[in-house]
Amino acid sequence: MMVNMPEGATEVIDLWPQGAPDGFVNDRREVIFDNPNPQVPERWIRNVTRARLTRFPAQAKGRGLSMLVVPGGAFHFVSIDNEGYDVARALALRGIDAFVLTYRVWPMPQDDADIPRFMQELDQRLERAHPGQATPPSGSGEISAGRDLAEADGRQAMRVIRAGAARFGIDPARLGVMGFSAGGGVAVDLALAAPADCRPAFAVPVYPAWRGGSTIPADCPPLCLIAAADDDVVAPFSTAALAQMAHAAGVRVACHIYGDGGHGFGIRQQQKLSDRWFDDVMDWLAVTLP
């Protein structure tokens, strides 16, 4: 399919030119559609048929950092603006080369008319966070299957970026990952469970839907974890629990749980305490990877 080049991007890179080895096929048409909530104007992508990276070169002098950006979407769609392209443009302005991952997702209805009902049903299937919960959402069935696809694409994305490091003008040893919600789960997988060739130099999981039962490896990279205390989708204390595990294992870790912000705030400003998360991450990077 043809992919329009977003503002600030210079190229789109196929992850699996010969097809993904898992053989998964989604025969539905890829569609860019609006968030069904009219109060939050942003675009999503459903039925991704071509896993790909969109490259946003740094627009300012930086410190040689680059970032894989992984949007959220409950492993059914990709929140391509607020947690993808807009984040990449913000990173580029701070001198960080960014690569937005549009990963494969579990199929959704093809017709727009069927989306409101589907989203209602998906929302009902999602596990809701309750006060004091310290475990991430479990996910099962389609969500679990979609997670497998996204994690495979995340690992391949790291390999593709590192293989092209000379052409992109980046340091493969200073490539990190920033992921949101479902994409935050992908970021945690890369930091904790991925093979060495796709392990990031640092990870920034934002309200991450990570896999329960994960363990911290000896070579876990530095982590900067982000959440809001009033998130009712991914329990904020599950993010704190991940930070506690990392700290106990001797990993360099920061954890910001803001008083409000909800779920899915991404780069969007809401006049809430979570609005400053991006600046806090930039400060953390300046100290952690000078």
pLDDT digit string (tens) for the chain, length 290 residues:
456 799 999 999 999 999 999 999 899 999 999 998 888 889 999 999 899 999 999 999 999 999 999 999 999 999 999 999 999 999 999 999 999 999 999 999 999 999 999 999 998 888 778 878 888 887 778 999 999 999 999 999 999 999 999 999 999 999 999 999 999 999 999 999 999 999 999 999 999 999 989 999 999 999 999 999 999 999 999 999 999 999 999 999 999 999 999 999 999 999 999 999 999 999 999 999 99
Amino acid at 214: S
For the stretch 169-185, pLDDT in tens is 999 999 999 999 999 99
- Chain centroid to Cα 164, Å, comes to 21
pLDDT at residue 2, as a whole number: 52
pLDDT at residue 139, as a whole number: 72
- pTM across the whole model: 0.97
Q: Which of 46, 42, 50 is nearest to 12 (CA)?
A: 50
Q: Which of 150, 175, 178, 180 is nearest to 79 (CA)?
A: 180
**Cα separation of the two ends of the chain:** 40
> What is the b/e burial string over 179-192, where b = at least 16 CB atoms within 10 angstroms of the residue's CB?
bbbbbbbbbbbbbb
- CA dist 79 and 81 (Å) reads 6
pLDDT at residue 210, as a whole number: 96
- CA dist 131 and 175 (Å) reads 35
Tokens representing 109 are 């209805």
pLDDT at residue 134, as a whole number: 86
C-beta of residue 9 within 8 angstroms of C-beta of residue 99: no
pLDDT at residue 3, as a whole number: 63
C-beta of residue 9 within 8 angstroms of C-beta of residue 69: no
DSSP 111-160: SGGGHHHHHHHHHHHSPPP-TT--S-----THHHHHHHHHHHHHHHHHHH
For the stretch 30-61, pLDDT in tens is 999 999 888 888 999 999 989 999 999 999 99
> What is the b/e burial string over 78-117, where b = at least 16 CB atoms within 10 angstroms of the residue's CB?
bbbbbbbbbbbbbbbebebbbbbbbbbbbbbeeeeeebee
Domains in the chain (CATH in brackets) are 11-288 (3.40.50.1820)
pLDDT at residue 141, as a whole number: 86
